[in-house]
Structure 1
Amino acid sequence: MVEKTIKEIRETEQKADDIIAEAKNQSEKLLENAKKEAENLESGMIEQAQEAAKKACRAAQDAGKKTLEEALKDVGEEIAEIKETAKSREKEAVDAIIESLV
């Protein structure tokens, strides 16, 4: 009877040890899976941030290019106006020079 009780205790202890080992194994697997998932999430977030930065950079470049084109157009128009003004005053300058020589 005592031997049977001791055997049952040992079996129960073995079952408890098995349960503890299985729990430890499962916790390690869960931890590893959590680490992998965190790495995947981090990688995904980094990719999203990089893509957003690229889009923002492209948008800024496009806006800068458009602003530069508009400024060049405005400067071209001003140059044309100055040339036109200079051309219209050229006759006045020639007449003034001729008049001063006469």
Structure 2
Amino acid sequence: MHRLPSLTTDDYTPEERQEFRVLMDAAAAQWAATVKRSAPDGIWVPTRADFLDQLGEADELVDALYRSLGALRKGIGAIDSTARRRFLDRARPAPPGPDSTP
């Protein structure tokens, strides 16, 4: 079975690897702050007494985490897409030159 070559660490520029770290660090800090605020001891502590209000509060929390994850995935996807494009450009055979015979 023929295996296609795949990306390696070397396919990402140092700047892309740094950008990835910045994205992950920012996301982790945001998650930590959210957890600290919403579940200080690992247990969710709603700020509202009414159950329906708690459902709304939970929705807000989930939405905030969802948006954060979406932004992170988008950023990582852009980095990966750029590296993959470069990789495929290198892996693509050069087109035949004008001196080539069919």
TM-score range, shorter chain: 0.3 to 0.5
Using CA pairs below 8 Å that are at least 6 residues apart, which structure has the higher relative contact order?
Answer: 2
TM-score, length-scaled by structure 1: 0.40
TM-score, length-scaled by structure 2: 0.40
Higher helix share: 1
